[in-house]
Structure 1
Amino acid sequence: MKNHFTYDERLGIRLPALDKDWEEYSEKEQYDILLEWEKIRGAIPDRIAELEQTINRKQAELSDESDFARSCRLNLEIAELASIINDLWIWYRLNQTASVKMHQ
């Protein structure tokens, strides 16, 4: 799909990167973009589940960690993963309206 999506390293998914207003795209382009987004959006819960597993592993490490500096690093990593999950949920929910448009 042309250059309508770019990979976001932090989130681990491709995000829309539209270079013009939505109305400037043809109906076919809009449909193709929405179809591709729906595929990406559908994978977001799986990506979140992966990150949650990583958080669970890090929390298990944290419960056995006696080194304060290492505990701080683990807490920071857990917080960053939680932030990524939050951002993924925002993308998932924010763009539900685009998915609804596609099905109309």
Structure 2
Amino acid sequence: MRELFTNDERLGIPIPDLNLEWDEYTKGEQQQILVQWENIRGSIPDRIKELESTINRKQVQLSDESNFTKSCQLNSEIAELASIINDLWLWYRTNQGVSEKMHN
């Protein structure tokens, strides 16, 4: 089943990489995909908490930083982490329907 998910280094989670239309997978394959996605999806809030902690540390650094160049770098890093969090929430919410299929 690993070949149906690709590790996204930026997000820090595997994401679906399905080459076929959903109906082209057997019911058994669909179930395996759904179970694996639900496990991945369940890890997203923990990943977001990790990133939020990193943002908080960088904000503390930023508040004490007097070097303009370093401040700009920290701001950029914080913005990128916030963007990753936003993308993770999109994956989490967009694929919420997948979880519902598992329970039906």
Fold match by TM threshold 0.5? yes
Superposed structure 1 runs of 4+ greater than 2 Å apart = none
| Residue of structure 2 equivalent to 1:44 | 44
| Residue of structure 2 equivalent to 1:27 | 27
Q: Distance in 2 between matches of 1:103 and 1:32?
A: 13
Question: Does 2:84 correspond to 1:84?
Answer: yes
| Residue of structure 1 equivalent to 2:101 | 101
Q: Distance in 1 between matches of 2:87 and 2:19?
A: 22
Q: Distance in 1 between matches of 2:102 and 2:33?
A: 10
| Residue of structure 2 equivalent to 1:60 | 60
Residue 51 (structure 1) shift: 0.1
Q: Distance in 2 between matches of 1:71 and 1:8?
A: 28
Specify the SS of the correspondent of 1:20.
coil
1:31-69 CA distance string (max 9 Å, x none): 000000000000000000000000000000000000000
Q: Distance in 1 between matches of 2:4 and 2:99?
A: 16
Residue 102 (structure 1) shift: 1.0
The change in CA–CA distance for 1:5 and 1:100 in structure 2 (over 3 A counts) is same
Q: Distance in 2 between matches of 1:95 and 1:14?
A: 13
Residue 2 (structure 1) shift: 3.8
In structure 1, give the amino acid aligned to 2:72. C
| Residue of structure 2 equivalent to 1:14 | 14
- Aligned residues between the structures: 104
Specify the SS of the correspondent of 1:3.
helix
Q: Distance in 1 between matches of 2:28 and 2:56?
A: 43
Specify the SS of the correspondent of 2:7.
strand
Question: Relative to structure 2, which stretch is displaced further, 1-10 or 27-36?
Answer: 1-10
Q: Distance in 2 between matches of 1:22 and 1:5?
A: 14
Gaps of 5+ in 2: none
Q: Distance in 2 between matches of 1:8 and 1:46?
A: 16
Gaps of 5+ in 1: none
